[in-house]
Amino acid sequence: MNMSVSNPLAGDDVLPAELRELLNSPDGAAFEQALDVMVRQREQRLFRALGQLARDLHNAVRRLGGELSQDGLPDMVADARQHLQEALEMSGNAAHRSIDFAERMLPQADELANNAGEVLKWTEGNEAAAILARHALEFATDCRDGLSDLMLAQSWQDLTGQRIKKVSSFIGTVESSMLELVRLTGALAGSEVPVSVERVTSQEDADRLLSEFGF
Amino acid sequence: MKILVVDDFSTMRRIVRNLLVELGFSSALIQEADDGESALTMLRAQSFDLVVTDWNMPNMTGIDLLRAIRAEGALKALPVLMVTAENNRDQIIAAAQAGVNGYVVKPFTAVTLKEKLTKIFERIAASGASA
């Protein structure tokens, strides 16, 4: 199997040919030396790729840190949470108002139904009064059912409210993860970084640190 | 019949209370708690005949409340009806295994609530008669 095809880090076409030549050579020392050269070259490519990755990551987090420190992540998250809390309260109040209305009207509908029922008993010979009483009874019964449905329908507030609470808690998780990421890379300007975490605040610092590893 | 309605949403507690009243239960005998923890305190302090509880609540969830009720000698026979938006299979199984007496999925209707409550009381009456 030719590794140089599948492995992007092993792009040197000269070395395998040399290696093939050396494999047939009786000189063991030369073979080992050639092998060392090949391994070192591959290591350097790997380190360069890792170095590039580290720089990209550092830049991305530094940008994030800059944006967050400029707008103030804790304030942004607190605002977002506050908005959700307000939405929760507003929807709760609206639902309570609807239930208030249903609770106020239900006994009236009951009373109207009862009264219409009573009146209906005394309408013999008076068709007009009987029709009115029957209509009143039907209307009161329909109102009763409708008000009961209206009250039950307010359970939307509980169902949407539970989702709002979940989003609010998710925002909290995202906030702590982002802060942790920024803290670990030391990129949040002006923030306190624990002594255990080495502070890297600038591209210069990052470059210096990376250069210590040979990048 | 003394009933404890447990839900962190005051709207839902009110809805359940109204439905119970509509089904003929006395409003004066219905009490409310906003999470499992306060419900458990109330259950220990006074006797109830039925608990209607939500699942998702802060401090102590409905399933933890159910388990606590079943684990406590004085409360373990208390009928518990779960009224919850949690309708995935695992959660329903967990509730059944914890000893729930009925399970109503939100949003629900008065008819469903009545049906489940009737079933609960029928089973209790049957087990009481056979005991």
**Any B CB within 8 A of A169 CB:** no
Asked if B35 and B51 touch (Cβ cutoff 8 Å), the reply is no
Rounded CA gap, B131 and B129, in Å? Answer: 6
Residues of chain B with Cβ-Cβ distance to A92 below 8 Å are 9-11
Average pLDDT, chain B: 91
Lowest mean pLDDT among A50-54, A179-183, B2-6, B65-69: A179-183
List of chain B residues whose C-beta atoms are within 8 Å of the C-beta of residue A162: 9, 56, 85
Q: Fill in the DSSP letter of residue A122.
A: T
Give the range among A95-104, A166-175, B1-10 with minimum mean pLDDT.
Answer: A166-175
B3-130 is classed CATH 3.50.50.100: no
Chain A's closest residue to B54, CA to CA, is: A158
Chain B residues near residue A156 by CB distance under 8 angstroms: 107
Please name the residue of chain B whose CA is at the shortest distance from the CA of residue A88. B9
Choose from A180-184, A206-210, B32-36, B109-113 the range with maximum mean pLDDT: B32-36
The pLDDT assigned to B2 comes to 95
Q: How distant is the Cα of A121 from the closest Cα of chain B, in angstroms?
A: 26
- pLDDT category, A198, cuts 50, 70, 90? very low
Task: Inform me whether the C-beta atom of residue A152 falls under 8 Å from chain B C-beta atoms.
Answer: yes
Contacts 24+ apart (CB under 8 A), A138-145: A139/A112, A140/A109, A140/A110, A140/A112, A140/A113, A140/A116, A141/A109, A141/A113, A143/A105, A143/A109, A143/A112, A144/A106, A144/A109, A144/A110, A144/A113
Task: Name which of B15, B107, B110 is nearest A99 (Cβ-Cβ).
Answer: B15
Cβ within 8 Å, pair A162-B85: yes
Share of chain B above pLDDT 70, in %: 97
CB atoms within 10 A of CB A2: 9
B107 and A155 within 8 Å at the Cβ level: the answer is yes
Sign of the alpha-carbon dihedral angle for A107, B108, A149, B116:
negative
Q: Phi and psi at residue A190, in whole multiples of 5°?
A: 80, 0
pLDDT score recorded for residue A207 = 55
Is the minimum CB–CB distance between B7 and chain A shorter than 8 Å? yes
Task: Show residues of chain B in contact with A87, CB under 8 Å.
Answer: none
- Is this complex scored with an ipTM above 0.90? no
* A215 band by pLDDT with thresholds 50, 70 and 90: very low
Domain ranges of chain B: 3-130
Residue A119 has pLDDT above 90, yes or no: yes
B12 touches chain A (CB under 8 A): yes
Q: Give A19 or A35, the one with higher predicted confidence.
A: A35
Encode pLDDT of B8-58 as tens digits: 999 999 999 999 998 899 999 999 999 999 999 999 999 999 999 999 999
Tell me whether residues B10 and A159 touch, CB distance under 8 A: no
How far A74 CA sits from the closest chain B CA (Å)?
23
pLDDT in tens, A145-154: 999 999 999 9
Look at residue A196 and tell me whether its pLDDT is greater than 50: no
Report the pLDDT value the prediction gives residue A13, as an integer from 0 to 100.
Answer: 54
